[in-house]
Amino acid sequence: MKKSPVKIAISDILLDEEIYPRRSIDQKRVGIFAENIRDWSQFDPIEVEPYPGKSGKYRILDGAHRWSAYKATGASYIRCMIKNLEGCDPLLYAATKAIGPKQLTEEEARTTARRAFQHNPRLTTAEIGKAIGRARRTVDSYIADLKAVILMDLDLKIFRMNALGIPQERIATRLEQTRDIVRSHLGNMATLPKSPKDDLSRGYTVSQVAEKHGWTEAMVWSLALQGKDDLARFRELNWGLRTWDYWHFNDCDNRFGDEWPGRIPAQLIGHILYYFSRQNDLVFDPMAGGGVTADVCLTFNRRCWALDMVDRPDKRPEIEPYYWDMDAVGANLDLLKAKDKPDFIIFDPPYFDKKAQEYEAKSISSLPRHKYLRFMEGFFRQMKKHTKHSTKLAFINADWRNFQHTPAVNEIPEDAILVDDYLKILHKTGWRRTHIIQAPLSSERFDAGVVSAMQKKKILGVTSRYVIISK
């Protein structure tokens, strides 16, 4: 059944330049239309669709000049056909409508083709050409440079994920490509690093090579350190190797991982891998955050499967989206039901209460104390269920005491979560602790005024952090 036009307030209709294929509104044409309207001429309804993210508003698909003319006459309403594009690209739909009465100029056609391809690289040149009234070969010339960039970006994503040991089928699913496309790109992996390697051999620094080729520093380090043992990697990275069970790092190494609440020093992950894993081991990071573990695994020749509730497919394709439902923890975790089981788990969860406002709304950091501990118990049970007997676990957490504004003598022990609580849960769920390493936070993060106030009130702060190794 054909839909009838409806009257919509002109003030509720907007021109979205992101989907408008022309360079600008032709004011001469608007003036002619306005005169016709004043002479009681009737125009066809314009076409609109609900404006994404703007409740009660519509954006124009066809009829920008008619809409402008009605506005110019002071009209309050205009007849509209409300369209449901059902997956059709709105820019290309608008372009198709635009070429009817007046062909797009060469500049408009080129700009529209490039914008459409940038928005959706899966569009074919034939689909774009049909919409803008141009031949496929012409569209190819419009977008050739964009295609090259996107193909290189896809190559780099596949290279990175493949280097981290992510299976082809998961790479294809994550990047929304077919397995055949992934397989064809993997064929280029042998030649892809040639130029960065050549620059490294000429004496360029890792950061210079990364900037020149658009690689991350972790990817370039993985090339620079190929064939070296872990000790040599530490030396090349200029990380002092701690020999005792006290790992104190004042700063994060900005070469690894992104800015993130509770970001962990890459040096800490490097030490964990050095002492408790081997090259080519499979590491599982269930709450990957800013990607420090994945970056260090790449640098230290470990495979890595990583998950996080925040999805960043363009910047961090190797971190797959997953939300740990406290009430159904691990129920749908197909990744750990795979044939290849992790050799090592690095679990650095958001700490209880700390930085809760900086994490996503569903972060476990904001759970009540009893639910936070219940989550930990469920998580450790699932890890034991879905891993090998030889799998080791590094659990990174800290004592939590409600010390702020409270003198040490007045703290309520029942409100705290201490490392002892985590040790009890690990033992209860079948994990045997083998090492406890102190890795305290720096006290320098407190300014002198805060320290003085704490001392006067006899408040004892918390800088403790522990790495608990279990198997």
Please report the DSSP string for 62-88 in residue order: E-HHHHHHHHHTT-SEEEEEE---TT-
Cα separation, 459 vs 409, whole angstroms: 9
Do 217 and 292 meet the contact criterion of CB atoms below 8 Å apart? no
The pTM score is 0.74
Cα separation, 230 vs 90, whole angstroms: 52
Classify residue 85: in a domain, yes or no.
yes
Q: Are residues 36 and 138 in the same domain?
A: yes
Of 119, 144, 169, which one is at a domain's C-terminal end?
144
Do 302 and 230 meet the contact criterion of CB atoms below 8 Å apart? no
- DSSP lists the bridge partners of residue 228 as none
CATH number, domain of 466, equals 3.40.50.150
Range of the structural domain that residue 45 is part of: 6-144
Classify residue 200: in a domain, yes or no.
no
Q: Are strands 6-9 and 77-82 parallel, antiparallel or unpaired?
A: antiparallel
Q: Are residues 291 and 381 in the same domain?
A: yes
Residues whose CB is less than 8 angstroms from the CB of residue 236 and which lie 6 or more positions away in sequence, other chains included: 221, 224, 225, 228
Place of tokens 């239309």: 33
pLDDT value of residue 356: 66
Classify residue 220: in a domain, yes or no.
no
Classify residue 197: in a domain, yes or no.
no
Query: Strand, helix or coil at 295?
Result: helix
282: phi then psi, degrees, rounded to nearest 5: -95, 120
pLDDT value of residue 335: 67
Q: Are residues 254 and 351 in the same domain?
A: yes
Classify residue 323: in a domain, yes or no.
yes
Of 127, 144, 161, which one is at a domain's C-terminal end?
144
Strand order of the β-sheet with 46-50 is: 6-9, 77-82, 46-50, 58-62, 13-14
Tell me the pLDDT of the chain (471 aa) as tens digits.
568 899 999 999 999 999 999 888 999 999 999 999 998 888 999 999 999 999 999 999 999 999 999 999 999 999 999 999 988 899 999 998 886 556 788 898 889 888 888 888 778 888 888 888 888 888 888 887 777 667 678 899 999 999 999 999 999 999 988 999 899 888 878 888 999 999 999 999 999 999 998 899 999 999 999 999 999 999 999 999 999 999 988 888 999 999 888 889 999 999 999 999 999 999 999 999 999 999 999 999 999 999 999 999 888 999 999 988 766 654 556 666 667 899 999 999 988 887 767 777 788 888 899 999 999 999 999 899 888 999 999 999 999 998 888 999 999 988 899 999 999 999 999 999 999 999 998 766 678 888 899 999 999 988 889 999 999
Cα separation, 345 vs 304, whole angstroms: 10
The DSSP letter of residue 348 is -
Q: Are residues 122 and 238 in the same domain?
A: no
- The tally of domains found in the chain comes to 2
- DSSP lists the bridge partners of residue 304 as 283
Classify residue 165: in a domain, yes or no.
no
Total length of the chain: 471
Q: Are residues 102 and 239 in the same domain?
A: no
Q: Are residues 465 and 343 in the same domain?
A: yes
pLDDT value of residue 82: 95
Classify residue 211: in a domain, yes or no.
no
CATH number, domain of 40, equals 3.90.1530.10
Classify residue 1: in a domain, yes or no.
no
pLDDT value of residue 375: 92
Do 89 and 132 meet the contact criterion of CB atoms below 8 Å apart? no
Cα separation, 469 vs 208, whole angstroms: 37
Tokens of 285: 């990071």
Report the largest interatomic distance among the alpha carbons of the chain, rounded to a whole angstrom: 90
Gap between the terminal Cα atoms of the chain: 66
Alpha helices in 177-277 (DSSP H): 179-186, 194-201, 206-213, 217-224, 230-237, 266-276
Tokens of 156: 């780099």
Q: With 0-12 CB in 10 A as exposed, 13-18 as middle and 19+ as buried, what is 185?
A: buried
Residue 22 C-beta-side C-alpha neighbours within 13 Å: 20
pLDDT value of residue 442: 76
pLDDT value of residue 135: 86
- DSSP lists the bridge partners of residue 417 as 400
Cα separation, 431 vs 148, whole angstroms: 50
Compute how many other C-beta atoms are within 10 angstroms of the C-beta atom of residue 177: 18
Of 144, 178, 206, which one is at a domain's C-terminal end?
144
Q: Are residues 460 and 320 in the same domain?
A: yes
Strand order of the β-sheet with 392-397 is: 319-321, 303-308, 282-285, 344-347, 392-397, 466-470, 433-438
Tokens of 351: 């700490």
- DSSP lists the bridge partners of residue 437 as 467
Cα separation, 289 vs 259, whole angstroms: 9
